[in-house]
Amino acid sequence: MSKPTYKYPDFVTNVDLKSENGKRYWLNLEIDKNKSDGITVILKNPSRADKIISDKTVFNVSNYIYRNREKYSEFKNVGNITILNLMPNYLTDSNGLKEFKETIIDQDNIRTLNEYCGKNKNVIIAWGNHPSGLYYEYEKLKEETKKILTENKNQVFYVDKMTVAGNPKHGQVWGYENELKKVTEL
């Protein structure tokens, strides 16, 4: 059975991205051209979202932020959402990422994380648990990302809860009523 195709929500007025060679480095969604703040969301890896179609996770994350603009002051002036990933490889089933084990730690992606965390003060981490066969690499990427967030003095948030393994709840499974929480220690 094929996965459903997601369109971007109507409130998304512009989509821009950098993708090449089966990887997406960043995805930017304009949600209100009259608002100046940006917010960054760091996920695990891209599924399908590109300039034309969204995917379940990007759809869910953008709706969560848009619908909760009145509830959370961090969202009140958000005009654009930047989606980044620990691993830039396009793959819907993250358990297949182990095929890229030798190149999964992508220096261009690490530079992208640093660049966008430098631009946007508020960052939501939402990468979920590690994909099978990549525990060591995932831990290394998480540590590198936490270092970037610390160096950039970002305000870091997660939604609802951390997993038993200590990872932030994945953006695909956020509920609109789930609470935005501040990370006190990276």
Distance CA 180, CA 159 (A): 5
**Is residue 48 assigned to a domain?**
yes
Strand-by-strand arrangement of the 37-43 sheet: 14-20, 23-30, 78-85, 37-43, 122-125, 155-159, 180-182
Q: Per-residue confidence of the chain (186 residues) as pLDDT tens digits?
A: 567 789 999 999 999 999 999 999 999 999 999 999 999 999 999 999 999 999 999 999 999 999 999 999 999 999 999 999 999 998 877 778 888 888 788 999 999 999 999 999 999 999 999 998 999 999 999 999 999 999 999 999 999 999 999 999 999 999 999 999 999 988
Tokens describing residue 56:
């379940």
**Residue 156, beta-bridge partner list:** 123
* CA-to-CA separations, 55 to 3, 50, 96, 140, in angstroms, rounded: 9, 9, 18, 27
**Is residue 121 assigned to a domain?**
yes
**Residue 83, beta-bridge partner list:** 27, 41
Distance CA 22, CA 50 (A): 11
- The domain containing residue 170 runs over which residues? 14-182
- Indicate which CATH number applies to the domain containing 66: 3.40.50
**Is residue 3 assigned to a domain?**
no
- Report pLDDT for 180: 99
**Is residue 8 assigned to a domain?**
no
The sign of the CA dihedral 25, 1, 171, 54 is positive
What global pTM score does this model have? 0.95
Interstrand relation of 14-20 and 23-30 (parallel, antiparallel or unpaired): antiparallel
**Is residue 74 assigned to a domain?**
yes
Q: How many domains does the chain have?
A: 1
